[in-house]
A and B are shown apart, each in its own frame.
Chain A
């Protein structure tokens, strides 16, 4: 019995990957076409913006918070990118990233310095971003100037030695945040804050700054996601990224970073995002109506939280 639980315990970090392999094999058996490398690549490339957003969300959840503003930040950024593309060219990307960083940092500041729970702070900041997006877009769906778009962002959708550049960008970002998480003092501090905030404080870490930075990074990644989405669809509008929030949360949690933080991380979110992709494509293949998606993911979300959350960390569940 003891050894059985031991092995289950030691396998736990791999659960998301095992789940992924099982899902892929099942779907592959049902529909061999699914496993064709080319279709797989297209499928994955399609989900890059979501993946990037989920990577950002991982920062917020890893420290035990949550960021409900990512979808609205992405929305806002699609509008910024579209409106200012002609004016700034490639530098519009810088503008977008700064926007995401600033909004995230404000959320983090409100949470840490003003003691507003992160779900409220980020929800509120999200609505402020939405308001700005609607203001900037004049409440219309905008399209990018096609020439400028192709000149500035066209390369994203090309391929390098057969691999879509989108995937290369995603992989680069993943590598970057993975490095940040595992090989920097900031990453170590993030883990300490997520796993034991009081001990982190008692070790003299600047916990507030770390938390603010985590939210800022979440916002930044949401902005990158919005930018790529905008470039992809060649336009911007205050509702363009709607539907991303739940998928991003699902991707992080299914990947094995629990709502209580401290364990999991970026690679887990990769597994989680891939699981989301496979489930989505399986639903399409099984002809489950696309409109059922949200319901299905809602249920998956509940199951994922229930399985991963560390209840010993919450004294009273409120």
Chain B
């Protein structure tokens, strides 16, 4: 028995690693196939101009998705992004206008200010989840509602226009055909990658997602890791908010709209498992690109925009099903 069990174990762990390899590369494959598909149907799709468009549109979502990636790696979820983004965008805009309305003045301080707001919102979210022991999907959903409500109260429903040319440079300044904000997003993606791969906190996310009780037994302060995770996610949501404002030039309550489903879909489609422990920011990059290539591609080949939501709905379901190891769970609710 000892021997058979050991060899059985090896076989199953080999299966597991083969499965992991598949999960690792499948999203990229899907992305390549999608690009090839759309390019064949409509050659205009495969142009620098169009890719610049895709990347520009994807940048804010990429930041949001990267933020929530950390949370999903832990096996939790954060649904508060729409509220957090709106609050960050609006706070930024108020601060920016109050301090002079141009990056060439002290108003640049409103950039770090917005990140701090994001961190506070995230930390609050994490505290409610951890200290009140409320499942994260519900704690963060409720916090999202609070955030959207707060942004509404702050603006009274008004829009704030940001017309400063330096700030709008995020969109208007282009290097090699791609606007500045794409580079900002890439920079933060690299930061996220460093956090994920080279910091204790980042590695602890994986430990919590891979085996929370074992992590506790090894002396990891899991509560702290969770709260820090939500805080970090809040900061990335805030970066996403800034890019979103930079792209449109308007900060309002609706700035956060649609980010929730889009980013969750992107993360899951990228191959980060909802059960935690597997995946990472590169997966999320691929996932975001898949989502935006589909969105853009469907418009380019002439399908109406509303099909995107439905397709994303299907995608997220399929992705979760594929990433689920049915043998390891008894039931879900």
Chain A residues with CB under 8 Å of chain B are 63-66, 68, 110-112, 114-121, 123-128, 130-132, 134-135, 139, 197-198, 201, 207, 246, 259, 261, 289, 291-299, 301-302, 305-306, 309, 311, 314, 316-318
Contact = CB atoms under 8 A, between A and B. Distances in A.
8 contacts: A119-B77, A120-B320, A134-B306, A259-B135, A296-B149, A298-B143, A316-B213, A317-B134
Interface in B297-319: 304, 306-314, 316-317
Which size bracket describes the interface of B in this complex?
35 or more
B330 A305 contact: no
A258 to B, nearest CB: 11
Contacts of A118: 332-333
Contacts of A316: 212-213
Nearest to A289: B153
Contact of B308 (A131, A246, A291, A305): A131
Contacts of B130: 317
Contact of B332 (A117, A134, A299, A309): A117
A131 B145 contact: no
Given A128-B313, A311-B133, A318-B136, A295 B145 contact: yes
B128 interface: yes
B142 A292 contact: no
B76 interface: yes
A121 B324 CA distance: 13
A246 B332 contact: no
B142 A305 contact: yes
A295 B313 CA distance: 27
A130 B144 CA distance: 20
B146 A116 contact: no
A276 to B, nearest CB: 14
A309 B324 contact: no
B46 interface: no
Interface string B35-79: 000000000000000000000000000000000000000111100
A264 to B, nearest CB: 15
Given A120-B320, A306-B134, A317-B133, A294 B145 contact: yes
Interface string B111-152: 000000000000000001110111111110111111111101
A318 B76 contact: yes
Contacts of A134: 306, 309
Looking at chain B's contact residues, is the secondary structure mostly helix, strand, loop, or mixed?
A: helix
A135 B304 contact: yes
A242 to B, nearest CB: 10
Interface of B: 74-77, 128-130, 132-139, 141-150, 152-153, 156-157, 212-213, 261, 264, 268, 274, 276, 304, 306-314, 316-317, 320-321, 324, 326, 329-333
Contacts of A294: 145-146, 148-149, 152
Contacts of B314: 124, 128
B129 A317 contact: yes
Nearest to B135: A317
Nearest to A197: B331
Contacts of A207: 331
A128 B261 CA distance: 11
A309 B330 CA distance: 22
Count chain B CB atoms within 10 A of each CB in A119, A132, A139, A198 and give the residue with the most.
A119
A111 B156 contact: no
Contacts of B150: 295
Contact of A291 (B76, B153, B276): B153
Contacts of B74: 318
Contacts of B306: 130-131, 134-135, 139
Given A117-B320, A128-B309, A314-B133, 6 more contacts: A128-B313, A130-B310, A135-B307, A291-B149, A294-B146, A317-B134
B134 A291 contact: no
Given A114-B324, A127-B261, A317-B129, A302 B153 contact: no
B324 A115 contact: yes
Contacts of B144: 298
Contacts of A115: 321, 324, 326, 329, 331-332
B143 A295 contact: no
A249 to B, nearest CB: 8
Count chain A CB atoms within 10 A of each CB in B74, B326, B331 and give the residue with the most.
B331
B317 A116 contact: yes
Contact of B132 (A261, A295, A299, A302): A302
B148 A125 contact: no
A126 B265 CA distance: 13
A57 to B, nearest CB: 13
Contacts of B212: 316, 318
Contacts of A259: 134-135, 138
Given A117-B333, A131-B308, A318-B75, A124 B313 contact: yes
Contact of B309 (A68, A127, A291, A318): A127
Nearest to B276: A318
A120 B333 contact: no
B152 A63 contact: no
